[in-house]
A and B are shown apart, each in its own frame.
Chain A
Amino acid sequence: MPPSGISRIRFRRGRLKRLAARGLLAVLGGGVLAFLVVPVIAVIPMSFSSSMVFELIPAAPGLTQYRRFFASPEWMDALGRSVQVALGTTVVATMLGTLAALGLVRIRSRWRTVLEAALISARIVPSIVFAVAAYFVFSLVGVVGTIAGLILAHSVLAFPFVVVLVTSALDGFDRSLEEASQSLGAGPIRTFFRITFPQIRLAVFGGALFAFNVSFDEVVVTLFISGVRSKTLPVKVWDAINYEITPILPAISTLIILVSVVLLTPLLLYRRRA
């Protein structure tokens, strides 16, 4: 990629002024970028604290809070449920999202835009609105507080990410290969597994990672539909923030961030390659 236009602006009045302007820009722009990562950077040292007071650099750093987290049956129960729900969501959202993307790219009329908007509309609707709607309907059917209910609701939220990723992968792939395969006598299912899937599997995998991340971090909808019986990790964190001050939270926060970073890394590497 050639250097962008902005970097080539010629500053008329000499090098010094140019340097000053670029320096100022770097300080301002860099400052904003630093502001963006503050919450992420700040929580990690705090999590190694063994005292009740929050310290940026702990006086006696240790793994006390992590040990407390992993030793607590209550927190482990929430973590286990979160993983269960996130795995279920990954399966449901990835399968449905891939199906939707495969169907979507077969449509060549303006209906495609309409359908695409409908399929990803869950990303636009404010989560509180969906939370109230799901809570009301789920209580009528009696799935509030169940793992299945959580998986279904999370899948609605995670599904658009899969659709977007897989659709863009399918758009970039030569569809005449599919026609060739079919004309050589392969059925649609065989064509999918031999021709189409190998081309889009990275996008499907990426969508699955996204789906897991969306579910694992979801809090607003879960707050409503988890009931008292089946709280996920973020809902337990929400309760702890609101009702009890506990120094265990920075450690849990760090772990939640770590999960997302692990999920995100392959996606970022894939993005760079693409």
Chain B
Amino acid sequence: MRRRPDWSTLILLGPPLAFLLVLFAVPLARVVWGSFFAPELTLEHYRRMWTVPVYGRVFWITLKVSALTTLFCILLGYPAAYFLASVSARTRQALLLCVIVPFFLSVLVRNYVWMVLLQRTGLVNQALVGAGLIAHPLELMYNELGVLIAMVNMLLPYMIFPLLSALLAISPELYHASSSLGGGAIRTFWRVTLPLSVPGIAAGGLLVFIVALGFFITPALLGGPKQMMISNLIEFNVRQVLNWPFAFALANVLLCGTLLLYFAYIRVLEGRLPKAGFP
């Protein structure tokens, strides 16, 4: 029996859809509109971000920091996911708390703690100087390094969850086949595990990159003036110089970039990845 949407469905979906329309869709549409019409049609704001070198730099920094964050999330996330896949289910459930719990804690608080840890007199420098490894404190924040440390820390769960579910989905028979055919552990990894976990790497990597593009708090707190990312430039234009149309244009670029990548993520990966135990 095929159920057709009926009145009760409309009554149920009506209020939430109206709510989203008024509070989400209309404001976003206003941003897109305002970036083109101020008040008459102009592409001036888009031309400006293309021609003024400072803005090109901000875009470049945004892409570079996001790409580096993605790279380090893959490099660090892989051993973590592989380790989680190699332990018993019970141990895995317990260890996964290290990934899940921080993920739901305040982003602001976690960034603040990194500021305390990475500042000149912070714990990391104290420990390094105390251990005699360095003579003078290192500059660990207000630069790209600080931004990367905190962003990788915050985005790693987005990498670990899809990767772990890809690794757990590899059939144990394949490992037996590989080793009974004479493949050692390292060869098995290169020929079996790594190729089969590529969808997990791609899914996690794309997610990390997408979320990284819109990061605001970390570059604002742990970056210097040279680490201004697109979100920070938007905030600057709205709150400091009150250039609304330009802020709208920047926001529209970020919005479209994010949505395009997200559709790519769904198109490319739908069905290839087992449904992650992702909350």
A interface vs B, CB < 8 Å?
1-13, 18, 21-22, 25-26, 28-30, 32-40, 42-43, 46, 53-54, 56, 96-97, 99-100, 102-104, 106-109, 111, 115, 118-119, 121-122, 124-130, 132-137, 152-153, 155-156, 159, 163, 188, 213, 217, 219-220, 224, 234, 237-238, 241-242, 249-250, 253, 256-257, 260-261, 264, 267-268, 271-272
Contacts and interface: CB of A to CB of B under 8 A. Distances in A.
B119 to A, nearest CB: 8
B238 A135 contact: yes
Interface string B85-98: 11111000101011
B133 interface: no
Given A29-B79, A39-B114, A156-B24, A107 B5 contact: yes
Contact of B15 (A32, A99, A124, A220): A99
Contact of B8 (A22, A26, A152, A188): A188
Contact of A156 (B23, B87, B153, B244): B23
A107 B9 contact: yes
Q: What DSSP secondary structure best describes chain B's contact surface?
A: helix
Contacts of A250: 116
Given A36-B102, A43-B113, A133-B251, A11 B184 contact: yes
Contact of B13 (A35, A103, A213): A103
B104 A219 contact: no
Nearest to B170: A5
B148 to A, nearest CB: 13
Nearest to B2: A108
Nearest to B87: A7
Contacts of A159: 16, 19-20
Given A6-B82, A7-B87, A132-B238, A39 B109 contact: yes
B83 A7 contact: no
A106 B9 contact: yes
Contact of A125 (B10, B89, B258): B258
A8 B175 contact: yes
Contacts of A2: 172
Contacts of A133: 27-28, 30-31, 251
A103 B18 CA distance: 14
Interface stretch (B36-44, B50-58, B138-146, B214-222): B214-222
Q: In the A-B complex, list the 3 residue pairs whose CB atoms are closest, starting with the nearest.
A: A29-B83, A126-B214, A103-B12
Contact of A6 (B28, B85, B104, B110): B85
B228 interface: no
Contacts of A219: 106-108, 217
Interface in B231-263: 231, 234-235, 238-239, 244, 247-248, 251, 254-255, 258-259, 262
A8 B185 CA distance: 10
B254 A128 contact: yes
